[in-house]
Amino acid sequence: MKILAFESTCDETAVAVVEDGRHILTDQIFSQAQLHAVYGGVVPEIASRCHVESISLLAQRAIEAAGITRAEIDAVAVSYAPGLIGAVLVGVNFAKATALSLGVPLIPVHHIRGHIAANYLAYPELEPPFLCLAISGGNTMLVDVRGYTDMRILGQTRDDAAGECFDKSARVLGLPYPGGAPIDRLAKEGRDDAYELPRPFVGENPYDMSFSGLKTAVINLVHHAEQTGTELDRAGLAASLCRAVSESLVPRTMAAAKELGYSRIAVAGGVAANSRIREDFRAAAEAEGKELFIPPLRLCGDNAAMIGCQGYYEYLAGHTAGTDLNAYASMEL
């Protein structure tokens, strides 16, 4: 079954063709990051307009690169929530028109379910159940993946996502948007004990997280250094931040795996590209005898292959949509 998949929830326009859920025939991504970099973050209006400009060409290119004809497309999948509403609407509307014109089923896919599914593309042997930490620019959640379409959130951030914390910290450090990767690189030159940063515990659910206090602590440190004329150890701050984020995520995930009796742990989303988090997960998994799944960098960030993959399993579960499908800024997993 060949699925043409669309992703446009933030600042990546992406179109992929995925066969039988697990085999990527093509994965076309156009990142708008450079357009938004001058503003230090994603400008929703610009993102929507840019999706409108690029989605048709990208779809044509995907069909060509996959080496298939339009008649060979069996279904259309689209990321319909959560995300920047104007941006999501572009993908949803284009996907609806495509499905209608081809006369094939339309499959709505939750963006975070897509991120989790990136692991199926990277690891052909992986099947639910397993535990997954989904960490991206807009979401941070610990998920009990009981089945391909049966998931339960164990805990999530009460405020900012981990990616937001990286992006805003990078901005005050004068690093380009999106700031996660530049912070990651800078951190390699610094000591992770240069600054003491908070690792908050929130409320009664041990698996809930919080990153706004950490973000504020970094911003305050930078402003304080500027105001007092003291030299800031930028690399040390970046390394301390990576450590603090990792120490908020890895032990919680390991504790949840232990409590639920899971031997398989997956990590997903753009922030899963972070070297410190990857290293800490590897070490923790080895120490506790758990099997670890983290997609390669290309599949961590937003892409449409993951939407095509999850779309396949949604289709098998009978989750298709009519022509009245809408886009949603937020949605339960």
Summarize as ranges the residues that interact with ligand KG4 (CB under 6 A).
10, 136-138, 163, 166-167, 178-181, 184, 269-271, 273-274, 301-302
CB-based contacts of 28-36 (< 8 A; 24+ apart in sequence): 28/58, 28/61, 28/62, 28/65, 28/304, 29/302, 29/303, 29/304, 30/54, 30/58, 33/177, 33/178, 35/11, 36/11, 36/177
Q: How far is the CB of 33 from ligand KG4 (least distance, A)?
A: 9
Q: How far is the CB of 137 from ligand KG4 (least distance, A)?
A: 3
> Which residues is 78 bridged to in the sheet?
6, 108
Q: How far is the CB of 230 from ligand KG4 (least distance, A)?
A: 27
| C-beta of 260 vs 292, nearer to ligand KG4 | 292
> Which residues is 3 bridged to in the sheet?
18, 75
| C-beta of 63 vs 170, nearer to ligand KG4 | 170
3-state secondary structure of 87: helix
Q: How far is the CB of 177 from ligand KG4 (least distance, A)?
A: 8
Helices 180-187 and 162-172 pack at an angle, to 10 degrees, of: 70
| C-beta of 155 vs 163, nearer to ligand KG4 | 163
Half-sphere CA count of 101, side-chain side, radius 13 A: 7
Stretch (H or E) spanning 106 = strand 106-110
Comparing CA positions, the residue from 113, 144, 121 lying closest to residue 131 is: 144
3-state secondary structure of 73: coil
- As a whole number of angstroms, the distance between CA 204 and CA 287 comes to 27
Q: How far is the CB of 151 from ligand KG4 (least distance, A)?
A: 17
Q: Is 121 buried (19+), middle (13-18) or exposed (0-12) by CB count in 10 A? A: buried
Q: How far is the CB of 157 from ligand KG4 (least distance, A)?
A: 12
Q: How far is the CB of 130 from ligand KG4 (least distance, A)?
A: 19
| C-beta of 87 vs 273, nearer to ligand KG4 | 273
Q: How far is the CB of 228 from ligand KG4 (least distance, A)?
A: 29
| C-beta of 2 vs 138, nearer to ligand KG4 | 138
| C-beta of 163 vs 190, nearer to ligand KG4 | 163
Q: What is the DSSP letter of 209?
A: B
| C-beta of 55 vs 272, nearer to ligand KG4 | 272
Stretch (H or E) spanning 79 = strand 75-81
| C-beta of 91 vs 269, nearer to ligand KG4 | 269
- As a whole number of angstroms, the distance between CA 109 and CA 327 comes to 11
Name the amino acid, one letter, at 126: L
